[in-house]
């Protein structure tokens, strides 16, 4: 009998009871705005920032309205101006080049490898050109960490500031160092499909006091920056407060209350995601025509999604795999589709930025298949999903002329 998967690829786990109780308490007292607190009181947002800074090992943290807002704020805080060029991944999602465009800057795309990470040879080549950009917005796309030792050596030697987009790597590590702590700024998302869920939300961390102060002013602190505890000293704000615009994007106490208990459970949740990822990966091993993604021994990832390559397959054959899997209840996304679909798009989809030909990256993007792995899936679900994908990929591949 043909197996059909009946689960949902977009169903999240319930918000924890402790988070619900904290949210109800905020609603009962009605003081949702982060600065609507009594003298000496730390609201939920302040406590979230303080706790996340300690958890991630950063002196400064700022909670904001979204991960995309965190990215744009980081760009402004490190000094990116209109018409500047900013390096970023060709393999990423729309909020990353969107943040660059939002500050009036121009994305300059760096290629992708078969490991789905930034092509460091391409990066070195672009940095050898006179007048290269001085900022790299590095997207750890779909949770894949590049060789961060080599990347930081390249960027440090060239004087390039690194902003890490950690939307898919909250809780991941490179050689024991948490994602977001090697660059000048780490930016995280708390959107529903990320590793903690407040619907929307973002957090920014840094070790640089001036970047932190600028980000806090940019977020809409007015002159209430003294109410931040994971923040630099008042004299840092004195240097920048009159030259930093207010571009309001604060997180509110309701979302912070929902997030704090989830962050305390993050390590256990990461372990659960990785169990599911490994179950699917094992089931896909040695599937004819399918290439799994190599991971470095230095990388500790968060398997909240899984990718594989149908490398050098014709578009109609990939379409056939997607259609056959969908018919059996398995939702796959394809980064080679000619038009962007839902959350899936590619560098040449974003027509507000120049997109030069990138044939080596196009070959890889054409073959990337992507799938969410929600924690509502059991290990048995994951094994079944792998069997379905394996069967349908093998059937199309063995039919020939892929």
- Taking only the tens place, the pLDDT of each residue in 70-106 is 999 999 999 999 999 999 999 999 999 999 999 999 9
Per-residue confidence at 344, pLDDT binned at 50, 70, 90?
confident
Q: What is the pLDDT of residues 7-66, one digit of tens each?
A: 999 999 999 999 999 999 999 999 999 999 988 889 999 999 999 999 999 999 999 999
For residues 303-317, average pLDDT: 97
**Residue ranges per structural domain of the chain:** 17-264, 266-398
Mean pLDDT of 331-356: 84
3-state secondary structure of 4: coil
Contact 382, 279 (CB under 8 A): yes
The pLDDT value recorded for residue 9 is: 96
- Quote the pLDDT of residue 121: 97
Among 163, 382, 149, 168, CA closest to 270: 168
CA–CA distance, 63 with 230 (Å, rounded to integer): 10
Yes or no: say if 296 and 120 are a contact pair by the CB < 8 Å rule. no
pLDDT tens-digit profile of 113-142?
A: 999 999 999 999 999 886 788 999 999 999
pLDDT of residue 131: 76
Sign (positive or negative) of CA dihedral 49, 50, 55, 56: positive
Q: What is the value of pTM for the model shown?
A: 0.96
CATH number of 17-264: 3.40.640.10
DSSP for residue 180:
T
When comparing pLDDT for 391 and 346, which is higher? Answer: 391
Q: Which pLDDT value is given to residue 35?
A: 96
Neighbours of 254 (CB within 10 A): 20
Distances (CA, A) of 236 to 127, 207, 232: 32, 13, 7
Q: Which CATH class is domain 266-398?
A: alpha beta
Q: Which of 173, 116, 175, 110 is nearest to 142 (CA)?
A: 116
Q: Is the pLDDT of residue 334 over 70?
A: yes
Report residue 400's pLDDT band, with 50, 70 and 90 as the boundaries: confident
pLDDT for residue 1 is more than 70: no
Please state which of the ranges 143-147, 173-177, 342-346, 352-356 shows the lowest mean pLDDT: 342-346
pLDDT bracket for residue 148 (50, 70, 90): very high
Question: How far is Cα 49 from Cα 62, in angstroms, rounded to an integer?
Answer: 6
Residue 337: what pLDDT?
A: 83
How far apart are the C-alpha atoms of 18 and 21, rounded to whole Å? 5
Q: Using CA atoms in the order 236, 165, 356, 349, what is the torsion angle rounded to 10 degrees?
A: -120
pLDDT, average across residues 280-307: 97
The per-residue pLDDT for 130 is 67
Please tell me the distance from the alpha carbon of residue 44 to that of residue 23, in angstroms, as a whole number. Answer: 10
């Amino acid at each position: 009998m043909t197996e059909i998967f009946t689960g949902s690829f977009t169903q999240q786990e319930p918000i924890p009871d402790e988070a619900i109780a904290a949210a109800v308490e905020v609603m009962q007292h009605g003081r949702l705005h982060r600065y609507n607190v009594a003298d000496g009181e730390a609201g939920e947002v302040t406590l979230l920032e303080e706790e996340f800074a300690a958890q991630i090992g950063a002196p400064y943290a700022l909670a904001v309205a979204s991960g995309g807002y965190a990215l744009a704020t980081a760009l402004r805080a490190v000094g990116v101006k209109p018409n500047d060029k900013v390096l970023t991944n060709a393999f990423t999602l729309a909020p990353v080049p969107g943040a660059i465009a939002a500050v009036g800057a121009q994305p300059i795309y760096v290629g992708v490898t078969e490991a789905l990470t930034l092509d460091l040879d391409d990066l070195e080549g672009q940095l050898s050109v006179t007048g290269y950009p001085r900022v790299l917005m590095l997207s750890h796309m779909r949770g894949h960490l590049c060789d961060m030792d080599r990347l930081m050596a390249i960027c440090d030697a060239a004087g390039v500031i690194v902003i890490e987009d950690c939307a898919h790597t909250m809780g991941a590590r490179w050689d024991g160092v948490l994602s977001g702590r090697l660059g000048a700024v780490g930016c995280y998302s708390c959107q529903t499909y990320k590793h903690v869920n407040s619907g929307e939300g973002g957090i920014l961390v840094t070790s640089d006091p001036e970047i932190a102060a600028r980000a806090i002013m940019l977020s809409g602190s007015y002159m209430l920056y003294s109410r931040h505890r994971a923040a630099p000293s008042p004299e840092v704000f004195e240097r920048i407060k009159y030259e930093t615009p207010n571009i309001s994007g604060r997180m509110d106490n309701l979302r912070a209350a929902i997030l704090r208990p989830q962050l305390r459970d993050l390590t256990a949740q990461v372990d659960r995601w990785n169990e599911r990822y490994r179950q699917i990966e094992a089931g896909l091993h040695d599937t004819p025509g399918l290439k799994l993604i190599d991971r470095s021994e230095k990388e500790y990832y968060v398997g909240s999604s899984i990718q594989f390559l149908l490398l050098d397959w014709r578009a109609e054959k990939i379409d056939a795999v997607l259609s056959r899997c969908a018919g059996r209840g398995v939702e796959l996304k394809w980064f080679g589709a000619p038009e962007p679909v839902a959350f899936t798009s590619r560098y040449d989809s974003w027509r507000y930025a120049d997109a030069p030909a990138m044939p080596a990256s196009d070959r890889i993007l054409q073959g990337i298949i992507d799938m969410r792995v929600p924690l509502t899936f059991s290990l048995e679900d994951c094994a079944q999903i792998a069997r379905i994908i394996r069967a349908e990929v093998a059937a199309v591949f063995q039919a020939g002329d892929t």
